[in-house]
Amino acid sequence: MTEIFHRLLLVFSIISTGGTAFGAVFNDLVPGTRAAGMGMAYTAVSDDLNALYYNPAGLAKSQFAESRAELGRQVSPIGMAGFYSFSYARPLPILPGATVGTGLFRLRQADVGEKTSFLLHFSHSLNLPQFYLRKPLQVGGNVKLVQVKPRDGRNKVSLGADAGVLLDLGWDIRTGISLTDLTPDLGVDNPSLNLGVSYRWMRRVTAAADIRVRPNLTQVFPGVEVDFFQRLLRVRVGKGLPLDGVSGIVMGVGAYFSPLVVDFAMTVPWNGINRPGGGSMLSVGYRFGAPAFYGRFVGSAAREAEDLRAEILSLEQKKRDLEAEKSTAETERTSMEGRLQAEEERLRSVQEQIRTLEDRAARKEYDAGHPQPEKKPEPPPAPKPKAAPAAPAKRETPHQFPLRHAVQPGDTLRGLSQKYYGDPTLWETLYEANRDKVERGLPIEGTTLLVPEPKRR
């Protein structure tokens, strides 16, 4: 789009003759009270009937039929200029996203001349995913019949056209380009090339700027619009149209009591209100089928209540989910505790079986090393004097106690008792001396056990 704009600027610079004029002329006056309140920075905004005269593409995707009547007056050193207009547009039912409309504009400036135009409008919204556009591209155009009657000249009538493109770039940025008053020679400077950009900040402030180029004149128009009370009241300010060289500041206000819309704009000269310049505009519009403005407050409260209700439902659902997760975790914990207890019981059972098997093995080993002598019949004993009972012989231990033993994998108390005492039944002596180094009946691997002197039974 920038390349196209540069080329068009080059064309207009070639067409232009005589440099830049002192100011705008009566042919530069166009209707649109809201647009005028924003200093004519409307090419990229263009979202209501004012778009008919600034960027026809802006009416694409209109939701409601709308009509508007407008009256304006502009003061200049040459003569008073006055105008009125009637506009109407509505969606095209057979083509979604399309809008059709019509408009009548009548302008007269004392000691200068008159201009009348009647137009037919069409605009449409195009989805172009192949160009990676974030939003649909809006295009539109007007076909019009234009009559110009200079004060001292002949009446001229000709067909003309307007065309425009509007693109929403996302991030609340819009840009537009339009070509207006494309007509054969009517004795006035035309056509006009308009390039605009707008930015919507915080959903409340719209800042826009337009560059308008026509033969003998190039102008820059900045403007701002601020919304209040849920867009029911809109305040605007911008640069005024320098009609016949009188520059000024324009201020505007709009009351959007849907379906009724009222806009007002007033231009004040920079050099003071006593200078012959400035003007005012008033428009009244009606949107057919649009919801009443007070529904915004009810709808806003209903939306807030619905949002709170949805948030409550979401929190309740999260609470139920957390409770379900907690219940599942408790069930899993109980199941794991049951499994752990079962494994501990199984381990104790296995340890008891190991001890029993070790005891049996020790007994068998002892019995194998100490066979019982065969009993022979003894002769009847001769009477002998009873001898005093002999004292039992003491066992000699092969080790010097106390000893220390480093626990190895597979060691058991019974096995160590057999190793050091020669008797597996003395394992309790080892247990009593090493309680803190025994876990679940087995010595802990890597620890060092104290082997005390055995207690004989």
CATH code, 430: 3.10.350.10
CA-to-CA dists, residue 215 to 12, 19, 193, 209, 219, angstroms: 6, 8, 10, 20, 11
Residue 90 lies inside a defined structural domain of this protein? yes
| pLDDT tens sequence across 197-241 | 999 998 899 999 999 998 888 899 999 999 998 889 999 999 988
Predicted local confidence at residue 457, as pLDDT: 56
Q: What is the mean pLDDT of residues 160-166?
A: 95
pLDDT at position 54 is 95
Q: Is 22 helix (H, G, I), strand (E, B) or coil?
A: coil
Residues 275 and 304 occupy one common structural domain: no
Which residue, among 240, 236, 290, 299, has the nearest Cα to 261 in the 3D structure?
290
Tally of CB atoms within 10 A around 290: 17
Find the mean pLDDT for residues 94-99.
93
**Together in a domain, 124 and 32:** yes
Question: What pLDDT, on a 0 to 100 scale, did the predictor assign at position 351?
Answer: 86
Of 28-42, 193-207, 382-396, the one with minimum mean pLDDT is 382-396
CA distance 320 to 163: 59
Same domain, 282 and 303: no
State residue 154's pLDDT score.
82
Q: Which residue has the tokens 């009222």?
A: 262
Domain annotation covers residue 381:
no
Domain carrying residue 172: 2-289
Tokens 């005891």 locate to 359
Q: Express each pLDDT in 300-338 by its tens digit.
A: 666 777 888 888 988 989 999 999 999 899 888 888 888
Do 307 and 283 lie in one domain? The reply is no
Res. 371 pLDDT band, cuts 50 70 90: low
Number of domains in the chain: 3
- The answer to the question of residue 389 being in a domain is no
Report pLDDT for 380: 63
Is 105 contained in some domain? Answer: yes
**Max avg pLDDT among 129-143, 250-264, 298-312, 405-419:** 250-264
Residues 94, 212 within the same domain: yes
What pLDDT is recorded for position 67?
A: 96
- Does the pLDDT of residue 378 top 50, yes or no? yes
Could you tell me if 326 and 434 lie in one domain? no
Q: Are residues 236 and 312 in the same domain?
A: no
Q: From 316, 351, 366, give the residue that closes a domain.
A: 366
Whether residue 330 sits in one domain with residue 252: no
Q: Which residues of 47-57 are buried (b: 16+ CB within 10 A; e: fewer)?
A: bbbbbbbbbbb
Q: Are 227 and 58 in contact (CB under 8 A)?
A: no
Please state the rounded mean pLDDT for residues 87-115. 93
- The answer to whether residue 390 sits within a structural domain is no
- Grouping H, G, I as helix, E, B as strand and the rest as coil, residue 207 is strand
The larger pLDDT score, comparing residue 162 to residue 421, is at 162
323 lies in the same domain as 436: no
Does the pLDDT value for residue 8 go beyond 50?
no
In whole angstroms, how far apart are CA 125 and each of 138, 166, 359, 438, 444? 4, 9, 96, 86, 83
DSSP result, 86-148: EEEEEE-TTSTT-EEEEEEEEEEETTTEEEEEEEEEEEEEE--GGGT-SSPEEEEEEEEEEEE
Is 362 within a domain? yes
Residue 7 belongs to domain with CATH number? 2.40.160.40
pLDDT, average across residues 99-122: 93
By percentage, how much of the chain surpasses pLDDT 70? 85
**Quick one: pLDDT band at residue 116, thresholds 50, 70, 90?**
very high
Domain assignment of residue 393, yes or no: no
Segment 349-358, tens digit of pLDDT:
888 888 888 8
Q: Stretch 377-405: mean pLDDT, rounded?
A: 60
Q: What gap in Å lies between CA 1 and CA 197, rounded to an integer? A: 12
| Of 259, 289, 319, the domain-final residue | 289
CB-based burial, 116-138: b 16+ in 10 Å, e otherwise = bbebebbbbbeeeeeeeeeebbb
- Residue 76 sits in the same domain as residue 118: yes
Residue 91 and residue 207 in one domain: yes
Given 289, 311, 326, the domain boundary residue is 289
43, part of any domain: yes
> Could you give the percent of the chain with pLDDT greater than 90?
39
Question: Residues 68, 39: one domain?
Answer: yes
